[in-house]
Amino acid sequence: MPKAFPIEFRRDVVAVARKGQAPLSQIAKTSGSPSRVCTAG
């Protein structure tokens, strides 16, 4: 199982996604998260 990202990092990524500052695919790529993680939920 992959190691979880720190909560502060996750908060920052979610904030960027909610503001629509970048497409989810770009956020996933630059944050090192698989794109399916950014769209889950």
Hey, where are the domains in the chain? 7-39
Q: Is the pLDDT of residue 38 over 60?
A: no
How many residues are present in the chain? 41
Does the pTM of the predicted model rise above 0.85? no
pLDDT value of position 29 = 81
- pLDDT band for position 13 (cuts 50, 70, 90): confident
* Chain-centre distance for alpha carbon 29: 9
Share of the chain above pLDDT 90, in %: 2
Angstrom distances, CA of residue 31 to CA of 9, 12 = 9, 10
Helices assigned H by DSSP within the chain: 7-19, 24-31, 35-39
- The CA-to-CA distance between both ends of the chain, in Å, stands at 19
